[in-house]
Structure 1
Amino acid sequence: MLRDQKGVTYTAAGIVGLGLSTLAGAQDLPGALEETVVTATKREASAQDIAVSITAIDGESLARYNQDTIESITAQTPSMAYSEAAGEAQIYLRGVGTNIFGIAADPSVGVHMDGVYQGRTQLALNQFLDIERVEVLRGPQGTLYGRNTTAGAINILSRRPGDSWEGYVRGGIGSWDRRELSAAAGGPISDQFSVRIAARHMQDDGYTENINPVAGVDVDDNDIQQVRGSVLFKPNDRVRLTLIADGTQSEDGNTSVRPRDNLGAAEVLGAAPPPSFGNIRNDLQSFNEWETSGLTAELEWELNDAWTISGVSGYRDFNGEFLFNTDGTEIDITRTQYAYDTDQQSHELRLAFDDGGRFRALVGAFYLKEDKEQALGLVRAGGRPLFASSPGSRGSFVIPSTNETEASALFSEVTYGITERLDLSLGLRYSKETKEDTSSVGAVFDLEGLNSSMDPLVFSNRDDKESWSDTTPKVGFEYRATADLLLYLSWSEGFKSGGFNSLDANPSYDPEELSAWEAGIKSDWFDNRLRINASAFHYDYQDLQVSTFINNLTLTTNAAEATIYGMEGELIAQPVPALEVGLAFSLLDAEYDEFSDRLGNNPDGTPRVLDLSGNRMPNAPEMKATLHANYLHQLGDGSSLILSGRYMYQSRVYFSQFNENEVAQASIGLVDASLSWASANGLWEITLAGRNLTDEDYFHTGVRFTSTSDADRDPLGIGSALGYPAAGRSWGLNFQRSF
């Protein structure tokens, strides 16, 4: 039957996009949109009843259409953008995000898995497995979520053991020799214990073909294994304890990259341009290998009908290593190596009061500890020399670093019903963070980088320790004009931790601060056949952490200010029970008020510093809109078909603060479609799906690298422009057997 998505457009991200959560039982088609229960406010509530801009996608839709990563939900989420570089996920909401690398830098979107904060950006690459729901909260979440949620938060919730035995087996094939098999099963083993286990294997050859006949490997490919087990203990009706263990292993040949101008040293030395967008000439045995594992413990204890204690503790481990063909050609110019090792533990305890009356309150405490190690190797094999004073030299920069982080917070949020229709919410969070960071910069005069047996020539060392604290408030009003119409107005602040320039010897930088006003509406009309949600927002963004040029040094510091304002809307309609149509859109104005940065040198050799005031911020498209439609048809034998389609339009996106066309993606329009069949008893389901049906060529991110450019062609030293291609047209055939 048609399943409520709270105004969310249904997507096709892994292979397609759309739809309906259940195809069986078409004879019971509802006459109205249904509710979606979310936990975005640390309590269960209808998404239509909370004063938060939120997009929620149920797990059945995610699995059916191969939406298996955070990137895959980007198209259907207003104001959301995603990039991936150097093995790190870069998530943006409403123009707020970061492209700063290093273990002492933090994201602007907080990702939480089963309530556990995922401290490293690499953890946002983890694939979805047996997911109940994904919630994307847009706007600063400084009170309930705290650290590093200036842009918003993403909650990923796995399926838990149920009161009866059930499960499924899924399989699929598709473009690029994709093979996938997953299964899950769970249920009670006694009156007090229930269990669930899920596993998945996915493999493909990648959407880019390496046509270099001499050497190299597949790129953009995947080889992923995942497993998760959970145990639910219910000693009585008021206590629930859930224990979760999970692990993921991923191996691939890294990603493809293409030159976008003629400044590269490889082109001067005879590198041939690939014949098509889907080809690359990769001369390296590049790779990207990582694994992560974790333990989670969740407690919910209802002391009585009004008071509840809840908490979550988690441990996560991440290890990764990769080798990247930085110039993207068959000529050995430069390569990039990374190695990561992260251990993290976190704990959160909450006490909530809600007796169904006018007053509701939540108080809590949070603690996080991270131990991180990182090593960067930059190998220069040709083109520009390693040192300007030694034109013939070749070699490698080697930059190891460590970082220890401790973060703690106390928070509270109370809601009081001033009248039967008007609620006032007040929130406050005090956060404190301490980071201790070490880093050294050295060089070895061979082409082995991190694998060199030589002792590096060390240029600089740093061992620093810094602490920061901040108080983030929130004030909100919610007015329920009718049972189906909610109006809200809020003012809140977000806090993002300070950090260090882990990949060089430069000093630390301070936290970012964002002050946000937001007004919104959530409404259902015509007996819940039409849903309209909309919001408008204004951000005052101070002390942005950016890479800039100060005192003859290029470093990350708090050198920018910005003003962001925009609006978002989500509309979903069910004019007849079998048809659903929807529209999600965002309009965004995100520009720097103050910002100067260096782009190469002037002809006389002095730094070329540009005033970027008025430039658009990276990954902040002015307009984004997604239109979708789903039609369900019941066959005579009781089985059902659903035809779905989606069109997503996105205006030009700049990938850097300099707003260059060579490091940008022009406006694009993407078309997805699918056809699904479900048996009358709901046990069998088959889906044929297609993504990017018009086979658009586009980049998901772009950069400039000075290490890949030619000194004669690039006399200003701005670096050669390179783009990371996105996937072209694809198809997938998936099946599921439930039990």
Structure 2
Amino acid sequence: MESQAEAGEILVTARRRTETLQETPLSITAFDADALLARGVTDLSGVGDFTPNLVFDQGTGNTGGSTTSQVFIRGIGQADFLFTTEPGVGIYVDGIYYPRSIGSVMDLIDLERVEILRGPQGTLFGKNSVGGAINITTRRPGDEFSGRVRASYGSFNRLEVTGAVDIPIHDGVLLASIAASTKDADGYVKRINDGSTLGDINSSGVRGQLLWNASPNFDLLVAADYTRKRENSIANTLIEVDPSGSLIGLYNALVAPATGDFYDDRYISDDPFKSFGTGFNRSDLDLWGISGTATIHLGAATIKSITAFREQDAVFGADSDHSPIRYFEQSVTDEQEQFSQEFQISGESLGGRLNWVFGTMYFHEKGFDLYDIAFAPGLFDALEAFPPGIIPGLGGAGNPIHPALDFEALVSAQINNDSYSGYGHVSVDLTDRLSVSGGLRYTSDKKDFGSRIDRLAAGVTTHDLAVSDKWTAWTPKASVEFDWSDDLMTYASAARGFKSGGFNGRPTNAFVAQTPFAPEYVWTYEFGFHARTADRRLRLNGAAFHSDYTNLQLLNVTSDPQGGIVAIIENAGKARIRGFELELLAKPIDRVQFDAAVGYLDAEYRELDPGITTITLTDKLVKTPKWSFSVGAEFGTEISSNWEAKFRADYAYRSTVQHVSSNDPLLEQPGYGLLNLRLAVAPTGSDWELSVFGTNLTDKLYIANGLTQRDTLGTTDVSYGRPREWGVAIDARF
């Protein structure tokens, strides 16, 4: 249990080369493994509480499984989990792109560091990094036999065990490591009718690496990982039933009288952590991959090849009516696999004054998605039996409108995507103080999409088609940096980001299925500084930015003229986002550390497409709080001649958040803060420590996600964040 007196250097690879955070002209937040442990972060979603202008919410709406996420940086991200929509924030693990929201809430096993890069990263990281990128680096095998293990127990019978061991096989030439993790906890929302829970944890994973240092000029790292989750559905709670919705009205008028199963607000629980649901309750994931990274050092140049294959299989869904009635239930079966190959050549020239990197990237993926829905089941048969003329346009056997209102259906989608890109980036030191950087990337995306809807009660296939489209984009970046001293650097930059176009994954008719949405783009202009005191005890970094955001891709859930459900991605128009980030780290004396971060966002729609009816220019962007800040303090002390202790407190605040683009008042989360505490004790100079910790200690009730389908099914439900929890842990090294 050591505490450094200096705010030490953090190494990052944000520009595809290793350099210190202080000399990198980007707005970056970086955490190493110890920093995350001290803050109680064990999966990737936890970094959102401590990173300004980052929202990392678990789950999506009321369908997404427990392993899916909604990640937004500076107001730009991805709201839907379907593989037909692209993320706005790219996630990379050891240089390998993870393109899908499903599986992105990953456990952090044997981690070296996490870097959150704000602003478009399209030049070096590629497409779908318009808001920024999360760059994760795992720890390479060490050349000595050693290990780490952690075990913890806490609220909801939460039991976690993680461990890692380095195994040198042959004297620095052949090195191996293996890391594993298992987590288990009861759910925090109880379904009182069947005794099951929602929001539980049942996850295990393993990662192995083999490093071959064949010569001083060549090494090969082979890595493989596997994650298995067998959990219940995300912790959703019903908060509204609106009887004026189109489908709920028809269901209660035509179906419920025969069964007695009227659906209304009796199924709203007065306890936010209880549900009357009895239906589908499952969130399973199998995720694995293998990669090989070969590096050749040729004097002033380095050649790197990164080859990877990954596959995921997921089954998840929810009983979204939260009642014993089978009124609104849905499940998803999702399969995706990908192959990527990247080649890089990088190096230095002109005596180290010129740094450069060039590369090519090929990415291929294919996937299958089956969406099994039961929305107002029995409605089709009731309409067929109902006399015509009583309800305008409806009733009478054989009415051609009725199949469109049959939402007992299987919605299937297939993708086959290919992406090619080439890029280059150079940085030149014009003087000892002044540097300029510039880069450019070209991306070509081709997407094949297949869509089919089978209406089960009507016995018809609404459509069965295959379409394709192609998009290309140039994403440049330019910056200028000036070192005022060894401890103060300023920079100004301009960068463009590109988020690929695509097809609607839940089309209700052939027209929607074969009509693509266009790519979205952002130009961001940024000014920033990195500063520290000469004794390295204080570090202050900041950035201010202005972003012009065009062709916004927004998810809208609404109804068609017949009252049926329409969930469609549309290019909504333009927005302007501006703001700043400030981050402080201070270590005034030994064993004492203070850190603080603040983010500010001023975001507004500037122009909307005339066809957009669900939002207005006065609406707020989703997942874009005006203010986010966190403060932390850490104190270490000797409690006797043989024992020492370390105490840490963290408080994270986020101002009002809109969880859906329509700014539904029921899904608006007012500003709130979360308080976490941790106390660790250990024998002086030992390799183990015992800690107790608590999260959300004020037991704040807050909405982490939600979805409304008021116009159609009449429901609005939310996922509340985890309540107050405590735990005890032991960490050891050997």
Preserved CA contact (<8 Å) 1:440 1:461? yes
Preserved CA contact (<8 Å) 2:152 2:728? yes
Which of the numbers 383, 392, 406 marks the counterpart of 2:418?
Answer: 406
Q: Deviations over 1:103-150 (max 9, x none)?
A: 221111111111110121113122221111111111100100011000
Which of the numbers 434, 450, 453 marks the counterpart of 2:446?
Answer: 434
Amino acid at match of 2:88: S
Preserved CA contact (<8 Å) 2:615 2:662? no
Which of the numbers 53, 68, 73 marks the counterpart of 2:47?
Answer: 73
Runs of 4+ in 1 over 6 A off after TM superposition: 383-388, 391-394, 549-554
Preserved CA contact (<8 Å) 1:174 1:730? yes
State the distance in 2 between where 1:64 and 1:698 align. Answer: 24
State the distance in 2 between where 1:330 and 1:66 align. Answer: 38
Aligned to 2:487: 484
Preserved CA contact (<8 Å) 2:240 2:265? no
Q: CA deviation at 1:551?
A: 11
Q: Are residues 1:323 and 2:302 paired?
A: no
Preserved CA contact (<8 Å) 1:333 1:708? no
CA 267–146 in structure 1, closer or farther in 2 if over 3 Å, else same:
farther
Q: Deviations over 1:643-690 (max 9, x none)?
A: 111111111000122222212111111111110113323311111000
After TM superposition, the score normalised by the length of structure 2 is: 0.89
State the distance in 2 between where 1:329 and 1:204 align. Answer: 24
**Range with greater deviation from structure 2 (283-292 or 350-359):** 350-359
Q: CA deviation at 1:550?
A: 12
Q: CA deviation at 1:616?
A: 1.3
Output aligned runs, 1:640-719, within 5 Å: 640-706=644-710, 709=713, 719=714
Which of the numbers 540, 543, 547 marks the counterpart of 1:532?
Answer: 540
Aligned to 2:251: none
Aligned to 1:307: 301
Aligned to 1:204: 185
Output aligned runs, 1:208-607, within 5 Å: 208-212=189-193, 215=194, 217-263=196-242, 268-269=263-264, 271-304=266-299, 306-355=300-349, 356-381=351-376, 389=394, 396-445=408-457, 456-504=459-507, 505=510, 506=512, 507-525=515-533, 527-547=535-555, 555-595=568-608
Preserved CA contact (<8 Å) 1:494 1:513? yes
State the distance in 1 between where 2:661 and 2:647 align. Answer: 41
Preserved CA contact (<8 Å) 2:475 2:498? yes
Aligned to 1:181: 161
Preserved CA contact (<8 Å) 2:188 2:235? no
Q: CA deviation at 1:381?
A: 4.5
Amino acid at match of 1:655: H
Preserved CA contact (<8 Å) 2:49 2:630? yes
Q: CA deviation at 1:640?
A: 2.0
After TM superposition, the score normalised by the length of structure 1 is: 0.88
Which of the numbers 116, 128, 147 marks the counterpart of 2:96?
Answer: 116
State the distance in 1 between where 2:684 and 2:53 align. Answer: 39
SS in 2 for 1:260: strand
**Range with greater deviation from structure 2 (253-262 or 76-85):** 253-262
The size of the alignment, in residue pairs, is 683
Q: CA deviation at 1:708?
A: 6.8
Q: Deviations over 1:181-222 (max 9, x none)?
A: 12211131103100001111110002223322xx26221001
Amino acid at match of 1:418: L
Q: CA deviation at 1:522?
A: 0.5
Q: CA deviation at 1:38?
A: 1.3
Preserved CA contact (<8 Å) 2:280 2:331? no
Aligned to 2:9: 35
CA 461–471 in structure 1, closer or farther in 2 if over 3 Å, else same:
same
Q: CA deviation at 1:613?
A: 1.1
Output aligned runs, 1:141-156, within 5 Å: 141-156=121-136
CA 360–218 in structure 1, closer or farther in 2 if over 3 Å, else same:
same
**Range with greater deviation from structure 2 (86-95 or 512-521):** 86-95
CA 98–663 in structure 1, closer or farther in 2 if over 3 Å, else same:
same
Q: Deviations over 1:284-307 (max 9, x none)?
A: 241011110000111221111x11
State the distance in 1 between where 2:642 and 2:430 align. Answer: 51
State the distance in 1 between where 2:367 and 2:431 align. Answer: 50
State the distance in 1 between where 2:41 and 2:449 align. Answer: 37
Amino acid at match of 2:48: T
Q: CA deviation at 1:461?
A: 2.4
Amino acid at match of 2:227: T
**Range with greater deviation from structure 2 (645-654 or 324-333):** 324-333
Q: Are residues 1:97 and 2:77 paired?
A: yes
SS in 2 for 1:277: coil
Q: CA deviation at 1:341?
A: 0.7
Q: CA deviation at 1:259?
A: 2.5
Amino acid at match of 2:145: W
What do you get for the CA RMSD once the two structures are aligned?
Answer: 2.3
Output aligned runs, 1:630-645, within 5 Å: 630-645=634-649
SS in 2 for 1:682: coil
**Range with greater deviation from structure 2 (164-173 or 610-619):** 610-619
Amino acid at match of 1:221: D
Q: Deviations over 1:26-79 (max 9, x none)?
A: xxx543211111112111111111011111111234346542222111000110
Q: Deviations over 1:557-615 (max 9, x none)?
A: 3232100000110012122222111210111011111225889xxxxxxxxx3551132
CA 628–47 in structure 1, closer or farther in 2 if over 3 Å, else same:
same
State the distance in 2 between where 1:525 and 1:589 align. Answer: 31
Which of the numbers 24, 29, 36 marks the counterpart of 1:55?
Answer: 29
Percentage identity across paired residues of the two chains? 28
Q: CA deviation at 1:617?
A: 0.4
SS in 2 for 1:121: coil
Preserved CA contact (<8 Å) 2:548 2:577? yes
In structure 2, list runs of 5 or more residues that go unmatched: 249-260, 384-392, 397-401
State the distance in 1 between where 2:598 and 2:226 align. Answer: 36
State the distance in 2 between where 1:621 and 1:267 align. Answer: 39
Preserved CA contact (<8 Å) 1:103 1:402? no
State the distance in 1 between where 2:265 and 2:683 align. Answer: 58
State the distance in 1 between where 2:438 and 2:301 align. Answer: 19
Preserved CA contact (<8 Å) 1:542 1:560? yes
Preserved CA contact (<8 Å) 1:196 1:231? yes
Amino acid at match of 2:626: E
Preserved CA contact (<8 Å) 1:596 1:613? no
Q: Deviations over 1:616-638 (max 9, x none)?
A: 10000011111111111123334
SS in 1 for 2:87: coil
In structure 1, list runs of 5 or more residues that go unmatched: 1-22, 447-455, 600-608, 710-718
Preserved CA contact (<8 Å) 1:515 1:541? yes
**Range with greater deviation from structure 2 (385-394 or 157-166):** 385-394
